Structure 1
Amino acid sequence: MNNPKNRTLTIERTLDAPLDLVWDAWTKPEHIAQWWGANGMETKIVEHDFTVGGQWKYAMTMPDGREFTADGVYIEIVPKERIITSANFKPMTEGVEIQTIFKADGDKTQLTFNCVHETEEYCKQQEEMGFYNGWGSFFDRLSEFVKSKP
C-alpha cells in the first residue's frame, strides 16, 4: 500500500558537462551557492559537512525578501554515483529523502533526482504545490552553471 514508487517524484536531466564537473557543482559549497534554489533565489551555505551522518543547511532568500531554510543529514555518499540525504525545505516541505544519482554519459552527465515522501498523499500534495516547476528551475540553474565552467 505504501509503495515507495507511489510516493516518489522524479526529475531526470542530461547535463552538458562531464561527471566530475557536475559532481563538484553538487558537492562543493562554493559551487552550490551559485545555483541552488529556484530562479531569483540567493543561497547562503550555513553548514556543509559532506560526510555520511554530516549535516547540511542552506539559507535561501527570495527576490521579495522572504527566507527559507533547507537542511538535512547525509545518509549515503558513493562518490560520483549517488548521494542520499534527508531533507526539509521549511516551511513548505519536511521529512523527505532526496536521492541524487549521477551517471557519466561520454562528456555529458545523466542526473536522476528522486524525492521520496512519507506518504502517497503528501507526495501528491507536494506535486500539486509545484514540485516540478520549483525543482525544474534548480536544474535549469545547475545546467547553466556547469555550462559556464571551462
Structure 2
Amino acid sequence: MSDLKNRTLTIEKTFNAPIDLVWEAWTQPEHILKWWVPNGMDVQIIEHDFKVGGKWKYTMLMPDGSEFVSEGTYKEIIELEKIVTSADFKPMTEDVEIQTLFEADGDKTKFVFSVIHATPEYCKQQEEMGFYNGWGSALDRLEKVLDTIILN
C-alpha cells in the first residue's frame, strides 16, 4: 500500500450555509439532481439507499448519446460529520474511495472532499484528467443549490 497522501485528491471549501442544510443537499436525491452534473445536463438517480452497505447509482446522458454511470456503496456514515463510499465513475474513474467530511463553523460549514486512488500514478492521471475542474464546478453548483434552499 503506497502513501495515502500521494494517492488522494482533496478539495476543501467553506459553504455559507449551516451544516444540516449542507448535509441535506449532499444526501437527498431531490437536491443531488440539481448539482451532481455539469450545467445543461441531466442526471437520473437509479438507486439511492443512504445507509451503510446501501448502494447508489446515478447516470447522466452525454452529448454524444453515451451514458456516464456513477455508482458505489456506502461504507461509513456518521450523521452531520462523515460519509465514506466506494465509487466508480465509468468509463473514466474506477475503484476509488470518496471521503466527505462536514464540520459546523457557526452558521457556515467546513467541507472536505477527498478521493483516494489505488496508486499514486492513478491519482496523478485523475488529476490531469480534470479532477479539480470537474468536482470544483459541481461544488460551485452545490453552493448555488444551498443558496436556493436558504432562500426558500
Give the TM-score band, short-chain normalised: over 0.9
Give the distance between the partners of 1:100 and 1:83, measured in 2 at CA.
5
The answer to whether the aligner puts 1:37 opposite 2:28 as a matched pair is no
Matched with 1:93 is 93
Give the distance between the partners of 1:84 and 1:58, measured in 2 at CA.
17
Partners of 1:12 and 1:110 within 8 A in 2: yes
Task: Please give the secondary structure, in 1, of the residue aligned with 2:149.
Answer: coil
1:27-66 CA-to-partner distances (Å, cap 9, x unmatched) read: 1111111111233331111000001010000011235544
Give the distance between the partners of 2:137 and 2:131, measured in 1 at CA.
10
Partners of 1:40 and 1:63 within 8 A in 2: no
Amino acid of the residue matched to residue 145 of structure 2? Answer: F
Identity between Structure 1 and Structure 2 (%): 64
Q: Which one is further off, 28-37 or 48-57?
A: 28-37
Residue correspondence of structure 1 range 97-136 to structure 2 within 5 A: 97-136=97-136
Matched with 2:48 is 48
Partners of 1:34 and 1:145 within 8 A in 2: yes
Give the distance between the partners of 2:34 and 2:130, measured in 1 at CA.
22
Amino acid of the residue matched to residue 100 of structure 2? Answer: T
After TM superposition, the score normalised by the length of structure 1 is 0.96
After TM superposition, the score normalised by the length of structure 2 is 0.94
The answer to whether the aligner puts 1:10 opposite 2:10 as a matched pair is yes
Amino acid of the residue matched to residue 85 of structure 1? Answer: T
Task: Please give the secondary structure, in 1, of the residue aligned with 2:84.
Answer: strand
Give the distance between the partners of 1:131 and 1:76, measured in 2 at CA.
23
CA-based RMSD of the aligned residues comes to: 1.2
Matched with 2:145 is 145
Task: Please give the secondary structure, in 2, of the residue aligned with 1:24.
Answer: helix
Q: Which one is further off, 36-45 or 76-85?
A: 36-45
Q: Which runs of 5+ in 1 are unaligned?
A: none
